[in-house]
Amino acid sequence: MRSLGIAAVVSTLTAICLTFAAVTFTAAAAVTVAADDRAVRVENGLIGISVSPDTPSLLSVRIGAQRFVQESAPLYELLLVKKDGGTLLLTSEDATDSSVAVERGEGFAVLVIKNRVHGGRKIEVTCRIRVSDANSLTRWRIRAKNETDLSLRSVAYPIVATPLVLGQSVDDDFLVWPQSDEAEWFPAPGKNFKVGQGFGRHNGALYPGGASLQMMTFGDADGSLYFATYDAAGNVKRFRFKKTRQNFRFSIEHFVPESPGNDFDAPYDTILGGFKGDWRVAGDIYRKWAWKQQWCKTKWCDRIDVPQWLKKWPPVVYAGALGEMNRKRPLDLLPQVTRDYMNVFGRDIVMFFHGWEKNRAQLGYPRPDPFPPDGGETYFRSAMERVRALGSRPFVFVCGPYWVLQERGCGYDDRAGFDQFALPYAALDPNGNTQRLFLAGSLDMAKMCPATEFWKRCVVKKLVQCVKLGVPMVQIDSFPCCQVYPCYNSAHGHPLGYGKWFYRAFADILGACRAKAVKIDRSFAMPTEGTCELFIPLTDSYMSRMHMMPRWHHDAFGAMKVPLFTYVYHEYLPPYGAVGPYLTAWKETSTYFTRGVALNLLWGRLPTVRIGGNQQPLESAGLNQRLLGFLKRAVAASSTYAYDYVVRGRMLHPPMIQAPNISVKYWRWWTKPPSNAVFESPAVLAETWRAPSGSTAMIFVNISEQTATFAVRLPDPDLTVNLYRNGVRKQIAVEGRTVRMKMQAMEIAMIEF
Position 236 pLDDT exceeds 90: yes
Please answer whether residues 727 and 629 qualify as being in contact, where contact means their C-beta atoms are separated by less than 8 angstroms: no
Residue 39 pLDDT grade (very low, low, confident, very high; cuts 50, 70, 90):
confident
C-beta separation of 722 from 749 below 8 A: no
Q: Of 106-120, 188-202, 410-424, where does the model show the most confidence?
A: 106-120
Residue 8 has pLDDT above 50, yes or no: no
Residue 479: per-residue pLDDT: 87
The answer to whether 253 and 206 have CB atoms below 8 angstroms apart is no
Burial of 317-350, coded b for 16+ CB within 10 Å and e otherwise, reads bbbbbbbebeeeebbebbbebbbbbbebbebbbb
Which three-class secondary structure state does DSSP give residue 675? strand
Q: Residues 90, 123: contact at Cβ < 8 Å?
A: yes
Q: Give which of 473, 586, 630, 584 is closest to 539, Cα–Cα.
A: 473
pLDDT given at position 600: 93
Q: What is the band of 672 on the pLDDT scale with cuts at 50, 70, 90?
A: confident
Residues 6+ apart with CB under 8 A from 564: 176, 178, 182, 183, 213, 215, 279, 283
288 vs 552: which has the higher pLDDT: 288
d(CA 154, CA 88): 11
Strand-strand pairing, 393-399 and 350-354: parallel
- The whole-angstrom separation of Cα 673 and Cα 430 is 36
Q: What's the chain's average pLDDT?
A: 88
CA–CA separation, 191 vs 460, rounded Å?
48
Residue 670 pLDDT: 73
Question: What pLDDT, in 10s, does the model give residues 127-142?
Answer: 999 999 989 899 999 9
- 569 Cα distance to chain centroid: 11
Full DSSP string of 411-452: TEE-HHHIIIIIGGGBPB-TTSPBPEEEETTTEEEEEB-TTS
Full-model pTM: 0.94
Helical spans, DSSP H, in 22-105: none
Tens digit of each residue's pLDDT (9 = 90 or more) over 324-381: 555 667 788 889 989 999 999 999 999 998 878 876 665 555 555 568 888 899 999 9
Residue 704's nearest CA partner among 591, 603, 593, 596 is 591
